[in-house]
């Protein structure tokens, strides 16, 4: 590096490392932990007596995704997460597609959780004035104000946002545990669970629908990777926080679904609209309650339910709010990373000199989220648009529109991440991996000893099946998801053509130099030395004329 280049790099503001281990866990938890508040009712409505099976299937795939992200985020601790891994493993065009799909997810995340946050608040019995937010126009305006406020909070700085997440995540872990504790202690009955599973087993189509919705409940590990560039000692911290997060979320998802199917309620369940008696799972999955299923479930837990009815709507709303905040954080960081890699215009890598946050990206993607909000809210705001949606999309409402796109974006990007993990294992065996996915087959590839990750293949098959389920069962996801990708690729080609960069090939990059800079910047100096030693050893082993590592 020349003196001038070094000086320029010193002048350019970068993201500061202020996220602690608990902060890293909170970023992930605040995103994934809130998903069950939205996902539980939707999955119960679709998969009925097999909701716990749907959560188990999606959960197993999520474990594979989590392990893949843990390995990659610890080895490459840079902002960008899945997008960066795909970009590095599979090249520019696939890196763009993965990043574009994740951007769709993060912008949906902003709207979906801000939307649900207001839904939960409207269920608060002690403040009936909040029920006015159920009016479509008031709901739309309040959600818009929430998005604008979160954008401001993130432009202000990550330290402030992290502190906010950390506090609320801690409160939520305690509260969710309390609900489950009282539920399982006083009301859970395995015989009722067995009866519900046998009596209300869904059709294969509904089970597929349930599985595709259940994956919504596990989206968010991306946030840990996103925060990697701002986490202190990421290679050591990321594996620890990721494993804790995977276990916590999986337990919560399975526990809530089993409890919903096998719990004797504290209060009698009211009959359905036709006057027929209904079970708890049916009541939670109904249109009336599926937006606030966790609050309704909690209020039916013996003893604790009296208190839970008062605080769970608030708790749900707060957690959904911070999940929405994670969407703002994630989308801005991924755009920052993509811009640095010349996959998006350079304006997205501008960091505010005073606050050191990617202000332009934050504002831009909150604007995209606002457009999505308009699309989601239009059917409720205009009867004419409602008729068009009913004609084209079987009358799917706004929240389902967002959920469809959320599932599509997640499944598409995660599929590419698994392939990238395999590619990086083969192409970059020199990078030290403080954490590796279990079950590997060692073999020699191009003169290097590498390990083939079996779990990545299992995860890929799992997430591909969920992508297929999403395409089969969701009208909007089938059309709008691929359209988003196609439009993005057209924009990418136009940008690369204008910049005279290769459109379908990757730019030549010095990954060795990049990896040294990444580890140095992360403060992982021991890993940097290990990396240099690995590179040197492979150079010595390589036969004359073999490609450079």
Partner 1 sequence: MRSPAYVRMRGITGALLIVAGATIAVRSIGVMGADARAIVPVVMGALFVAAGFLRVRDYLRLRSGDA
The residues of the shown chain that bind partner 1, judged by CB under 8 A, are 52-53, 56, 184, 188, 190-191, 193-194, 197-198, 247-248, 250-251, 254-255, 258, 262
Q: For Cα atoms 243, 33, 171, give the angle at the middle one, nearest 5 degrees.
A: 100
- Contact assessment for residue 254 and residue 43, using Cβ atoms and an 8 Å cutoff: no
CB of 529 to partner 1, least distance (A): 25
CB of 251 to partner 1, least distance (A): 5
Give the nearer residue to partner 1 in terms of CB position, either 217 or 332: 217
**3-state SS record for 120-177:** HHHCCCCCHHHHHHHCHHHHHHHHHHHHHHHHHHHHHCHHHHHHHHHHHHHHHHHHHH
* Alpha carbon separation from 323 to 64, 217, 256, 385 (Å, rounded): 22, 12, 19, 29
- Contact assessment for residue 238 and residue 228, using Cβ atoms and an 8 Å cutoff: yes
* Alpha carbon separation from 449 to 428, 442, 541 (Å, rounded): 11, 7, 11
Interacting residues of 117 by C-beta distance below 8 A, sequence separation 6+: 146, 316, 317, 318, 320, 321, 324
Q: Which residue has the tokens 């990206």?
A: 361
CB of 47 to partner 1, least distance (A): 12
CB of 255 to partner 1, least distance (A): 6
Spatial CA neighbour of 219 closest among 366, 79, 403: 403
Give the nearer residue to partner 1 in terms of CB position, either 194 or 387: 194
Give the nearer residue to partner 1 in terms of CB position, either 253 or 522: 253
Coil vs helix vs strand at 441 = strand
Give the nearer residue to partner 1 in terms of CB position, either 245 or 295: 245
Phi, psi (rounded to 5 degrees) for 19: -90, 120
Give the nearer residue to partner 1 in terms of CB position, either 194 or 490: 194
Coil vs helix vs strand at 268 = coil
Give the nearer residue to partner 1 in terms of CB position, either 185 or 494: 185
CA distance 324 to 330: 10
CB of 191 to partner 1, least distance (A): 5
Q: How many residues does the chain have?
A: 549
Give the nearer residue to partner 1 in terms of CB position, either 101 or 197: 197
CB of 279 to partner 1, least distance (A): 16
CB of 200 to partner 1, least distance (A): 12
Tokens matching residue 414: 């995660």
Give the nearer residue to partner 1 in terms of CB position, either 198 or 273: 198
Give the nearer residue to partner 1 in terms of CB position, either 254 or 426: 254
CB of 244 to partner 1, least distance (A): 8
CB of 67 to partner 1, least distance (A): 15
CA distance 47 to 32: 21
Q: Which residue has the tokens 């308009």?
A: 374
CB of 283 to partner 1, least distance (A): 21
Per-position DSSP letters for 162-217, written without gaps between them: HHHHHHHHHHHHHHHHHHHHHHHHHTB-HHHHHHHHHHTPPPHHHHHHHHHHHGGG
CB atoms within 10 A of CB 509: 13
Give the nearer residue to partner 1 in terms of CB position, either 52 or 357: 52
Give the nearer residue to partner 1 in terms of CB position, either 196 or 323: 196
Q: For Cα atoms 247, 404, 251, give the angle at the middle one, nearest 5 degrees.
A: 15
CB of 25 to partner 1, least distance (A): 14
The DSSP 8-state label assigned to residue 542 in this structure reads S
CA distance 82 to 95: 9
């Amino acid at each position: 590096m020349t003196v001038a280049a070094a000086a320029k790099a010193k002048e350019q503001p970068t993201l500061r490392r202020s996220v602690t281990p608990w902060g890293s866990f909170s970023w992930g938890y605040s995103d994934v932990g809130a998903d069950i508040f939205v996902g539980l009712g939707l999955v119960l409505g679709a998969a009925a007596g097999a909701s716990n099976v749907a959560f188990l299937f999606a959960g197993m795939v999520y474990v594979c995704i989590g392990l893949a992200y843990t390995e990659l985020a610890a080895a490459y601790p840079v902002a960008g997460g899945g997008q960066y891994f795909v970009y590095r493993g599979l090249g520019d065009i696939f890196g763009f597609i993965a990043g574009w799909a994740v951007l769709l997810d993060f912008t949906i995340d902003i709207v979906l959780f801000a939307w649900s946050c207001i839904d939960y608040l409207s269920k608060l019995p002690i403040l009936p004035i909040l029920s006015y937010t159920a009016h479509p126009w008031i709901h739309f305006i309040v959600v818009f104000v929430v998005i604008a406020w979160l954008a401001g909070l993130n432009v202000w700085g990550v330290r402030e946002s992290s502190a906010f997440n950390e506090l609320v995540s801690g409160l939520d872990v305690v509260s969710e545990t309390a609900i489950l504790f009282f539920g399982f202690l006083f009301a859970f009955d395995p015989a009722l669970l067995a009866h519900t599973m046998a009596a209300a087993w869904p059709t294969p189509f509904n089970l597929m629908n349930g599985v595709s919705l259940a994956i919504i409940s596990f989206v968010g590990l991306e946030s840990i990777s996103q925060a990697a560039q701002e986490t202190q000692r990421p290679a050591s911290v990321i594996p620890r926080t990721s494993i804790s997060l995977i276990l916590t979320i999986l337990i919560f998802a399975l526990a809530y679904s089993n409890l919903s199917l096998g719990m004797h309620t504290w209060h009698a369940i009211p009959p359905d609209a036709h006057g027929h008696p209904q079970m708890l799972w049916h009541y939670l999955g109904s249109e009336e309650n599926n937006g606030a299923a966790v609050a309704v479930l909690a209020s039916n837990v013996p003893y604790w339910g009296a208190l839970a009815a008062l605080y769970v709507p608030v708790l749900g709303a707060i957690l959904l709010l911070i999940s929405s905040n994670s969407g703002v954080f994630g989308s801005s960081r991924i755009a920052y990373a993509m811009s640095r890699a010349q996959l998006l215009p350079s304006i997205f890598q501008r960091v505010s000199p005073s606050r050191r946050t990617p202000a332009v990206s934050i504002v831009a993607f909150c604007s995209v989220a606002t457009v999505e909000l308009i699309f989601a809210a239009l059917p409720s705001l205009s009867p004419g648009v409602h008729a068009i949606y009913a004609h084209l999309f079987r009358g799917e409402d706004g929240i389902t529109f967002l959920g469809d796109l959320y599932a599509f974006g997640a499944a598409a990007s995660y599929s590419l991440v698994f392939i990238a993990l395999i590619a990086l294992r083969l192409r970059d065996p020199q990078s030290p991996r403080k954490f590796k996915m279990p079950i590997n087959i060692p073999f020699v590839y191009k003169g290097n000893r590498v390990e083939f990750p079996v779990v990545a293949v299992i995860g890929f098959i799992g997430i591909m099946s969920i992508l297929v389920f999403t395409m089969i069962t969701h009208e909007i996801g089938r059309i709008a998801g691929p359209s988003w990708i196609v439009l993005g690729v057209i924009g990418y080609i136009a940008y690369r053509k204008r910049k005279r960069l290769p459109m379908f090939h990757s730019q030549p990059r010095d990954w060795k130099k990049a990896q040294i800079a990444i580890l140095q910047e992360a403060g992982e100096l021991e890993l940097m030395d290990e990396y240099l030693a690995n590179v040197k050893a492979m150079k010595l082993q390589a036969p004359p004329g073999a490609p450079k590592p």
